[in-house]
């Protein structure tokens, strides 16, 4: 018999929720069950941010782009039965970026991210997105993050950041994780933000060959003469040992050596180059 009822509209490809916390922290089993009971016929739940945030997403869309999630939701695993997976030890903003990319093909800084971390930059978000793309085997997301990061950094390094470097270097030296003021958009401040993103990358990716690390090294090498005058770059070489070793190795393969020569008279790290 032909039904004259209007079919129920399909749920949107992705929906985000924040689950209420108990007095002592955490989310009750009752709240979690109520959330799972509202899943659409082809939806699965991605639980993240220590269990407080949930993304409901179309299962087919998710599994088509990630072998990791395809195995989890179609294999002989509890996640396939529960239609729910809990992601641990990830930056919540990266998971949101990942979900948005799976649906739209891009991501950006949303109001919540900016409100929670006013110093977060798009460079940082590209690094975070790349890390989760590698972890959850989403090659299209990894490629997008690398390409967007490469374009943004190339624009930064093409600027004449030496014109305001004297004043920047005269200020007290910042730590490797301290960002410039959010309203400071001088070229030297943008270089510092780039170098902060380098710290983020090297601290969140494994040793050895990594595509994003390779991209960063290839961006840095043509600009070594300019970067050598940046105090933070010298500190980066001296204090982030793994980065310094990777750069030395890459330069050596190109027939050039770089040596951190210790501290100069004004407390700056000295960088020397040789053939």
Q: Residue 147 above 50 pLDDT?
A: yes
Tell which of 57, 88, 119 closes a domain. 88
For residues 2 and 26, which has the higher predicted lDDT (pLDDT)?
A: 26
Q: Residue 272 above 80 pLDDT?
A: no
Residue 218 lies in a domain: yes
Count the Cβ atoms, other than its own, within 10 Å of residue 88. Answer: 8
Whole-structure pTM value: 0.83
Residue 2 lies in a domain: no
Residue 45 lies in a domain: yes
Q: Residue 6 above 50 pLDDT?
A: no
| Cβ neighbours for 258, distance < 8 A, ≥ 6 positions apart | 224, 237, 247, 248, 251, 271, 272, 273
pLDDT (average), residues 113-126: 86
pLDDT in the model for residue 8: 46
pLDDT in the model for residue 12: 60
**Quick one: 75 and 158 in the same domain?**
no
Poorest-confidence range of 47-61, 112-126, 145-159? 112-126
CB of 263 closer than 8 Å to CB of 269: yes
Tell which of 62, 88, 114 closes a domain. 88
Count: domains in the chain = 2
**Quick one: 159 and 251 in the same domain?**
yes
**Quick one: 77 and 158 in the same domain?**
no
Tell which of 88, 122, 139 closes a domain. 88
Residue 178 lies in a domain: yes
Residue 100 lies in a domain: no
Instruction: For residue 56, give its domain range.
Output: 8-88
149-188 tens-digit pLDDT: 999 999 999 998 766 554 445 454 555 545 565 556 788 8
């Amino acid at each position: 018999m032909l039904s004259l009822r209007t079919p129920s509209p399909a749920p949107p490809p992705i929906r985000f929720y924040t689950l209420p916390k108990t007095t002592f922290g955490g989310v009750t089993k009752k709240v979690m069950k109520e959330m799972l009971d509202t899943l659409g016929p082809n939806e699965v739940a991605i639980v993240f941010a220590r269990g407080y945030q949930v993304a409901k997403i179309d299962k087919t869309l998710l599994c088509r782009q990630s072998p990791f999630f395809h195995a989890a939701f179609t294999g002989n695993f509890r996640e396939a039965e529960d239609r729910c997976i809990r992601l641990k030890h990830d930056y919540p903003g990266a998971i949101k970026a990942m979900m948005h990319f799976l649906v739209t093909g891009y991501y950006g800084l949303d109001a919540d991210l900016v409100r929670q971390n006013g110093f977060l930059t798009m460079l940082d978000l590209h690094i975070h997105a790349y890390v989760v793309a590698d972890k959850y085997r989403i090659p299209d997301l990894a490629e997008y993050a690398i390409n967007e990061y490469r374009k943004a950094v190339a624009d930064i390094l093409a600027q004449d950041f030496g014109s305001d470097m004297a004043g920047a270097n005269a200020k007290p030296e910042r730590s490797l994780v301290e960002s410039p003021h959010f309203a400071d958009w001088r070229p030297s401040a943008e270089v510092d933000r780039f170098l902060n993103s380098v710290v983020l990358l090297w601290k969140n990716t494994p040793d050895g060959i990594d595509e994003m690390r390779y991209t960063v090294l290839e961006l840095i090498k043509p600009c070594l003469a300019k970067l050598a005058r940046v105090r933070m770059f010298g500190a980066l070489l001296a204090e982030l040992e793994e980065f310094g070793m990777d750069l030395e190795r890459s330069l050596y393969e190109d027939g050039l050596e770089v040596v951190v020569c210790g501290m100069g008279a004004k407390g700056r790290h000295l960088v020397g180059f040789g053939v």
